Amino acid sequence: MLLARTPADTRAIGAALADLLRPRDVVVLTGELGAGKTTLVQGIVRGLGAPEVVTSPTFTLVREYTGRLVVAHVDVYRLDRIQDVVDLALEEIADGEAVLVVEWGDAVAELLATDRLRVELVAADPSGADDARRIVVTPEGSGWRDRWDALASALDRWRESRS
């Protein structure tokens, strides 16, 4: 489990993830409203060298950012039906070479590649008194197996110490 004490830490964790991303990777983001999902995407996009300002795609559904890789940032929160997600044709975005980052991705997990990185963000203080977040990064499938040690090492500075 990681501890991001500030939004800047959450962005830095995203940038650390970005260093290991490859075309066609899928990153599923989960967490309550305001948990920091878009803040993490800001770090991913910045880490990939894209100059655009990252905002939530809640109403546009998909935003694309281009740096070392194309990032398709998708928010499925407002979609009512699975068919709405199917209609987005996510696998075709950027000719199928983009990194797909899906906010609220657990809701549509059956439509996404089984090889993915799941990132769960939760408020460290349930009262919401500060900006600290606990972040759990979990590889699903075999695609991250050869990158897992490098990812764990890149994220080590935020690993929550056990006292």
Q: Is the pLDDT of residue 58 over 50?
A: yes
Cα of 49 vs its chain's centroid, Å: 16
Average of per-residue pLDDT across 19-36: 91
Pick the CATH number of 2-129+143-158 from 3.40.50.620, 3.40.1280.10, 3.40.250.10, 3.40.50.300: 3.40.50.300
**94 pLDDT band (50/70/90 cuts)?**
very low
- Tell the burial category of 62 from Cβ atoms under 10 Å away from its Cβ (0-12, 13-18, 19+): middle
**pTM score, whole prediction:** 0.86
Residue 105: both structure tokens together: 């991705």
* pLDDT tens digits, 29-41: 999 888 899 999 9
The pLDDT, as a whole number, for residue 163 is 43
